Amino acid sequence: MDRDGIRHVQSERLRETVERVYFNVPYYRNKMQEAGIGPESIRSIDDIAKLPYTTKQDLRDNYPFGLFAVPMSEIVRVHASSGTTGKPTVVGYTRNDISTWSEVMARTLTSAGANRNDFIQVAYGYGLFTGGLGLHYGGEKIGASVIPISGGNTVRQIQLMHDFGSTVLACTPSYALFLAEAIQESGINRNDLKLRVGVFGAEPWTENMRREIEDKLRIKAIDIYGLSEVIGPGVASECQVQEGLHINEDHFYPEIIDPDTLRVLPEGSTGELVFTTITKEGLPLIRYRTRDLTRLTYKRCTCGRTMVRMEKCLGRSDDMLIIRGVNLFPSQVETVLLEMNEIKPHYLLIVDRVNNLDTLELKVEVDEAFFQDKISQLESLRQKLQNNLENSLGLGIKVTLVEPKIIERSEGKSKRVIDKRKF
Amino acid sequence: MIIHQLSIFLENKSGRLTEVLEALGEENIRITALSVADTTEFGILRLLVSDPDKAREILKKQNFTVNLTEVISVMAPNEAKYYAKILKILSDLDISVEYTYAFSVGDKSIIILRCSNSENAIKALKSHEMELLKASDLYKI
């Protein structure tokens, strides 16, 4: 379809979506009324800049289902991901939304070169995380044979990869590297594996990592992009040419904005990616700020498609980290620390990558008022903190007690995170 | 009879112990006894010094996490059976000893004990005619 045709479809869908949220979601109605606009103010996709932005905080403020545009009886699925503090970000899907999601995932897999004859090993986590089920429904839609193995249990991953003859691997890029080394160590001959292509996402990864994965696993490594607020995986993905990720803009309309001034930037500028969902029913989102930094191009791709492309995302405009595919905000750590009186909330989060797996260490200062000459007490404090954090973050973390002054106090905002990973 | 021992939290990093000793040395604090309780992650340095309050101030200024811990000190002949007797007196009365260490001065031994209840421990040992040292005696060593 040519660009004009696409914009025509987008305009129609945007109008429908704006009406849907105005009449069904009090939060959006209030915001639009405050801005002095109504559904009639939006006649085409060009009017989108009149609409307010939506942030993760807005989702949190309306936890759990406040932004849903349909009654819960029409929601057939909910998923959740990490929020900035304790509460997760909740998303909901109607039957049609699940159908849309399956469709965009089918496109993702097809443009990666997969079809009904493939065996897809879905090693993304199944559960509240959208990765596993996203790939699953996409795989079934194209008629492939889906192996819902989920994450972890590397020995079994390799065994089934070998015995079932998996041809497509879906997981995080760092896990792909981890698997590659595990395969080498397992003694299984790579020639006995039928792996051909991988679809990797859920965390940032560089061209260097891609080459490493392609060399070690001897597959084509395709980049996919998504976020659960917009739908999950399936928002954008690479084609065989691999010159950027095609965004499914007939469902998710992208804009690039300056994260400080909030102004929309022209084509080709690097800025924060913003999405408006124009077909979702359960949780339609208007101008959702992803905090991911990238740039767009509208030129026709070498593969022939005309959908807008985005560059690989490598940075964020907030302090969110992604550890083993799981989102982590430093403020989540602070929340847990503030609940414990025995420690001063002076901490340092150290993120590293060892043997291709992300590691997380928290150094925290012992409060002198609490320090008594008793090893068991210090040990149980350390253990208690570690347990509280692991429960709250959903991530394994190593807690180390340190002396004061080890952690720099700076004027203004203290540096709380050291990320030693080089992607 | 209560002795104030310095307890200092130390990260498991080389040089930390040296820094403590240097800081105290610069101010001419004398160290009577030193021991370290360690885990893989961190340690607690225990010191008996000539002036515990001053030592604490010095270390606090240098941002060490320091506290004073109550311990008691018994002087006995330098033979294992006396040490054993002391421990038995306490265990018979259910007074738990969290840790203990000792050093000798000539033919005497000085036994340091951290007890769950210092007062009861002092009473019990005195009633068995054990010789308990005063803080001022210990600091002179």
Average pLDDT per consecutive 10 residues, chain A (423 residues; last block may be shorter): 92 97 97 95 95 94 96 97 78 98 98 97 94 97 98 94 98 92 91 96 87 94 96 96 96 96 94 97 98 94 94 85 88 85 82 92 85 86 92 90 69 73 79
Residues A273, A409, single domain; the answer is: no
Contacts of B97 in chain A (CB under 8 A): none
Token pair listed for A181 = 């080394």
Nearest CB to A368: which of B11, B67, B69?
B67
The answer to whether residue A73 sits within a structural domain is no
CA distance A337 to chain B (A): 19
The answer to whether residue A355 sits within a structural domain is yes
Nearest CB to A375: which of B16, B44, B69?
B44
In this structure, are strands A119-122 and A145-147 parallel, antiparallel, or unpaired? parallel
**Is the model more confident about A1 or about B141?**
A1
d(CA A63, CA A92): 12
The answer to whether residue A232 sits within a structural domain is yes
Please tell me the predicted confidence (pLDDT) of residue A408.
Answer: 61
Nearest CB to B65: which of A368, A374, A375?
A368
Q: Please say whether the beta carbons of A151 and A170 come within 8 A.
A: no
The answer to whether residue A83 sits within a structural domain is no
Contacts of A368 in chain B (CB under 8 A): 60, 65-67
The answer to whether residue A199 sits within a structural domain is yes
Domain that residue A123 falls in: 91-318
Please tell me the predicted confidence (pLDDT) of residue A355.
Answer: 87
Residues A287, A354, single domain; the answer is: no
Contacts of B34 in chain A (CB under 8 A): none
The answer to whether residue A294 sits within a structural domain is yes
What contacts B71, CB < 8 A, 6 or more positions away?
B2, B3, B4, B5, B112, B113, B114, B115, B118
Residue with tokens 């972890």: A152
Residues A241, A331, single domain; the answer is: no
Domain count, chain A: 2
> C-alpha distances in angstroms, A27 versus A341, A406, A412?
37, 45, 34
CA distance B140 to chain A (A): 24
Q: What residue type is A370 in one-letter code?
A: F
Residues A179, A283, single domain; the answer is: yes
d(CA A373, CA A167): 59
- One DSSP character per residue, A228-271 reads TTTTEEEEEEE-TT-SSEEE-TTTEEEEEE-TTT-PBPPTT--E
Residues A274, A293, single domain; the answer is: yes
CA distance B37 to chain A (A): 8
d(CA B87, CA B72): 13
Residues A305, A363, single domain; the answer is: no
Mutation target among B13, B42, B68, B96 for the A interface, most CBs of A within 10 A = B42
CATH number at residue A197: 3.40.50.12780
Pinpoint the residues of chain B covered by CATH 3.30.2130.10.
3-68, 70-140
Burial of A263 (0-12, 13-18, 19+ CB in 10 A): exposed
- End-to-end alpha-carbon separation of chain B, Å? 16
d(CA A42, CA A26): 18
Mutation target among B65, B97, B112 for the A interface, most CBs of A within 10 A = B65
Token pair listed for B141 = 């060593």
d(CA B56, CA B46): 12
Strands lying side by side in the sheet with A315-316: A252-257, A271-277, A288-294, A315-316
Sign (positive/negative) of CA torsion A311, A314, A317, A323? positive
CA distance B48 to chain A (A): 14
- The answer to whether B67 contacts A401, with C-beta atoms less than 8 Å apart, is no
Phi/psi for A362 (5° steps) reads -115, 120
Structural Rg of chain B based on CA atoms: 16
Residues A103, A252, single domain; the answer is: yes
Contacts of A379 in chain B (CB under 8 A): 39
Please tell me the predicted confidence (pLDDT) of residue A407.
Answer: 61
Q: Please say whether the beta carbons of A267 and A298 come within 8 A.
A: yes
Token pair listed for A200 = 């990797």
Q: Chain A: residue nearest B9 by CA?
A: A403
- The answer to whether B46 contacts A373, with C-beta atoms less than 8 Å apart, is yes
What contacts A199, CB < 8 A, 6 or more positions away?
A108, A109, A112, A114, A135, A168, A169, A170, A222, A224, A237
Please tell me the predicted confidence (pLDDT) of residue A2.
Answer: 87
* Residue A293, H or E segment: strand A288-294
What's the CATH class of domain B70-140? alpha beta
Phi/psi for B125 (5° steps) reads -70, -40
Q: Chain A: residue nearest B37 by CA?
A: A375
What contacts B40, CB < 8 A, 6 or more positions away?
B12
Q: Please say whether the beta carbons of B59 and B16 come within 8 A.
A: no
Residues A139, A230, single domain; the answer is: yes
- End-to-end alpha-carbon separation of chain A, Å? 36
**% pLDDT > 70, chain B:** 100
Q: Chain B: residue nearest A400 by CA?
A: B41
Contacts of A374 in chain B (CB under 8 A): 98
- The answer to whether B66 contacts A400, with C-beta atoms less than 8 Å apart, is no
The architecture (CATH level 2) of B3-68 comes to 2-Layer Sandwich (3.30)
CATH number at residue A342: 3.30.300.30
Contacts of A408 in chain B (CB under 8 A): none
Q: Where are the alpha helices (DSSP H) in A91-232?
A: 95-111, 130-141, 154-160, 173-186, 207-217
Nearest CB to A375: which of B5, B39, B66?
B39
Contacts of A366 in chain B (CB under 8 A): 9, 65
Residues A264, A363, single domain; the answer is: no
Note the pLDDT tens digit of each residue in B21-67.
999 999 989 999 999 988 888 899 999 998 999 999 999 998 899 99
Burial of A293 (0-12, 13-18, 19+ CB in 10 A): middle
Give the end of a domain, one of A268, A299, A318.
Answer: A318
Is residue B13 over pLDDT 80? no
Chain A to chain B Cβ contacts (< 8 Å): 48
Residues A365, A386, single domain; the answer is: yes
Residues A389, A292, single domain; the answer is: no
Cα–Cα–Cα angle for B38, B43, B44, rounded to 5 degrees: 110
Give the end of a domain, one of A297, A318, A339.
Answer: A318
Show which residues on chain A lie within 8 Å of chain B, measured between beta carbons.
366, 368, 371-375, 378-379, 382, 400-406
- The answer to whether A378 contacts B9, with C-beta atoms less than 8 Å apart, is yes
Of residues A388, A380, A339, the one with CA closest to residue A362: A388
Q: Please say whether the beta carbons of A166 and A196 come within 8 A.
A: no
ipTM of the complex: 0.75
Residues A310, A221, single domain; the answer is: yes
Give the end of a domain, one of A295, A318, A341.
Answer: A318
CA distance A402 to chain B (A): 6
- One DSSP character per residue, A14-44 reads HHHHHHHHHHH-HHHHHHHHHTT--GGG--S
Structural Rg of chain A based on CA atoms: 23
- One DSSP character per residue, A194-213 reads ---EEEE-SS---HHHHHHH
Cα–Cα–Cα angle for A28, A265, A320, rounded to 5 degrees: 65
